Chains A and B, each alone.
Chain A
């Protein structure tokens, strides 16, 4: 088990956003979190990554309590994510974008850096090689010197994924990766997620509205409604669940 969440709650100005949410994430598995808009799915991600601090409850990552850890330390432990609204660094080139999560892993001081010690030069080359390799892996090699905002939406989504993997995560959180993609691109994305899961040995949690994607690639699904978990199970179980149908379709469902 790579991640364990126990009774996590947070409210904003008296409004409960997530209430007593618990889940396990098995290693090398893909889990989905679904639910209507405003159900608290992204909030769960923000709690796992440390953007928000939970009011109560615990988060364990590989057995370690990370509930109070600042965001950047959680990333260095191996948790990485993408964003619902793409958050690329638009003033930087594509290659510099993917370097951001990797440069912090390199340990040398700015003084060594300015003196251009041989070790630093080697490290610099390794950062550059690693970034190019990652862009190549995602078929983005040709865009190295572009600014992200000038690229098509689908490419930007892939670039975000490439950047998230540069942090060398073990747990990857994907926040609505299919948003804004056309059916063909969703198909590609599904294959891509399965490919990176297998090749990079990742545990993945996906928040998504796109049911086909969730049902096809997740082994376990959690359903949120108004901040509470109303169902969990395999895609088949969740599809049959009456509460889930009600949450999505209203009482007539």
Chain B
């Protein structure tokens, strides 16, 4: 019984990272209506950045996490300025955004493979004790911290989107990107902010993934689970993405303990296909037309 509980906790904390990925992906989808695979580039770059600063600069967990988060945000802004803004200002079709985002993701992956690909990089051990004992349970500190951080970050983001003036402008742009400029909203700035926020999530994702596993050039491809969570959650609904991320993480973990690591992905992926056949709008129930 307590094995299942432990698996559930591990699964939830991994699910928390999926939720971060789903929201980072969903935020850009909401505003610009395309699937932003370049989010994986932010995750990968941040994972390496987090490794290098925590290994060689400040061996302090909180400081380096914060630095990586902000760094991820800045990378998001740079990526938007470099590859999305020029085509947006030319009113390019959404397919081109998709192509640019995939190309950027692969480019970053290949650059890391060519330069740092021969090695695995492991984050320093931040905590002397890696587990807490609670009676019969052993709780991994890393997992608890991961879950806590994901929750805090998502609450923070939800506050910004729901309550602040920048959040009102982001929601307006998500509803109809052509109109807010006629309300005096600088849409270019709002798009930058959206990429900054998504980038912060990507930076934290990269850091947490790098800290839990190790950093390799393909670490960015782990956002695929987050993208799946965003779609199951009902793309367009950030809350749905969070729930789907947690569910996905927990289900995976439980299945691995019950039927093994090789069968689990098969069961998970086929369930997702069946779920979306039955409910194409995802679990949040919002009808949303997915373009590109």
Which of B165, B175, B184 contacts A92, CB < 8 Å? Answer: B175
Query: Which A residues between 43 and 84 are near B, CB-CB below 8 angstroms?
Result: 49-51, 70-72, 75-76, 80-81, 83
Contacting pair B169 A70 (CB below 8 A): no
B183 CB-CB contact with A under 8 Å: yes
B96 CB-CB contact with A under 8 Å: no
User: What are 25 of the A-B contact pairs (CB < 8 Å)?
Assistant: A50-B181, A51-B181, A72-B180, A72-B182, A72-B185, A72-B186, A72-B187, A75-B183, A75-B184, A80-B182, A90-B175, A90-B176, A91-B174, A91-B175, A92-B168, A97-B172, A100-B168, A101-B185, A104-B183, A104-B184, A104-B185, A104-B186, A105-B184, A163-B183, A167-B184
Contacting pair B165 A104 (CB below 8 A): yes
A 125-168 to B, binary, CB cutoff 8 A, 1 in contact else 0: 00100000000000000000000000000000000000100110
Contacting pair B169 A100 (CB below 8 A): yes
Contacting pair B165 A81 (CB below 8 A): no
Q: A104 to B166, alpha carbons, bound, how many Å?
A: 8
Neighbouring A residues of B138 by C-beta, 8 Å: none
Which of A71, A104, A127 contacts B169, CB < 8 Å? Answer: A104
Which of A75, A90, A106, A166 contacts B182, CB < 8 Å? Answer: A75
Given contacts A91-B171, A91-B174, A91-B175, contact A101 B184 (CB under 8 A): yes
Contacting pair A51 B182 (CB below 8 A): yes
Contacting pair A72 B181 (CB below 8 A): yes
Q: A83 to B181, alpha carbons, bound, how many Å?
A: 13
B102 CB-CB contact with A under 8 Å: no
Q: Give chain A nearest CB distance to B155 CB in angstroms.
A: 12
Neighbouring B residues of A105 by C-beta, 8 Å: 184
Contacting pair B165 A106 (CB below 8 A): yes
Contacting pair B171 A113 (CB below 8 A): no
A87 CB-CB contact with B under 8 Å: yes
B164 CB-CB contact with A under 8 Å: yes
Contacting pair B176 A87 (CB below 8 A): yes
B 149-178 to A, binary, CB cutoff 8 A, 1 in contact else 0: 000000000001000111011011011101
Number of interface residues of A (CB under 8 A): 32
Q: Assuming A72-B181, A80-B183, what are 10 further A-B pairs, CB within 8 angstroms?
A: A51-B178, A71-B181, A71-B182, A72-B186, A87-B176, A99-B168, A100-B180, A104-B183, A114-B160, A127-B165
A89 CB-CB contact with B under 8 Å: yes
Neighbouring B residues of A91 by C-beta, 8 Å: 171, 174-175
Chain B residues at the A interface, C-beta cutoff of 8 Å: 160, 164-166, 168-169, 171-172, 174-176, 178-187
Smallest CB gap from A127: residue in B: B165
Contacting pair A76 B184 (CB below 8 A): yes
Query: How many pairs, one residue from A and one from B, have CB atoms within 8 Å of each other in the complex?
Result: 80
Q: Please provide the 5 A-B residue pairs with the shortest distance between their CB atoms, ordered closest to farther.
A: A103-B165, A75-B184, A101-B183, A89-B175, A71-B181
Q: A91 to B173, alpha carbons, bound, how many Å?
A: 10
Contacting pair B184 A110 (CB below 8 A): no
Which of B164, B175, B183, B187 contacts A167, CB < 8 Å? Answer: B183
Q: A188 to B179, alpha carbons, bound, how many Å?
A: 26
A4 CB-CB contact with B under 8 Å: no
Contacting pair B184 A89 (CB below 8 A): no
Neighbouring B residues of A72 by C-beta, 8 Å: 180-187
Q: Give chain A nearest CB distance to B181 CB in angstroms.
A: 4
Neighbouring B residues of A27 by C-beta, 8 Å: none
Q: A106 to B164, alpha carbons, bound, how many Å?
A: 11
Query: Which A residues between 155 and 201 are near B, CB-CB below 8 angstroms?
Result: 163, 166-167
Q: Give chain B nearest CB distance to A163 CB in angstroms.
A: 7
Q: A205 to B176, alpha carbons, bound, how many Å?
A: 24
Neighbouring B residues of A81 by C-beta, 8 Å: 182
Neighbouring B residues of A99 by C-beta, 8 Å: 168
- Which of A99, A103, A113: most chain B Cβ within 10 A? A103
Neighbouring A residues of B179 by C-beta, 8 Å: 83, 87, 89
A232 CB-CB contact with B under 8 Å: no
Q: Give chain A nearest CB distance to B208 CB in angstroms.
A: 23
Smallest CB gap from B156: residue in A: A114
Which of B160, B178, B180, B187 contacts A110, CB < 8 Å? Answer: B160
Neighbouring B residues of A87 by C-beta, 8 Å: 176, 178-179
Q: Give chain B nearest CB distance to A54 CB in angstroms.
A: 17
Given contacts A72-B181, A72-B184, A81-B182, contact A110 B175 (CB under 8 A): no
Q: Give chain A nearest CB distance to B188 CB in angstroms.
A: 8
Q: A101 to B160, alpha carbons, bound, how many Å?
A: 18
Neighbouring B residues of A106 by C-beta, 8 Å: 165
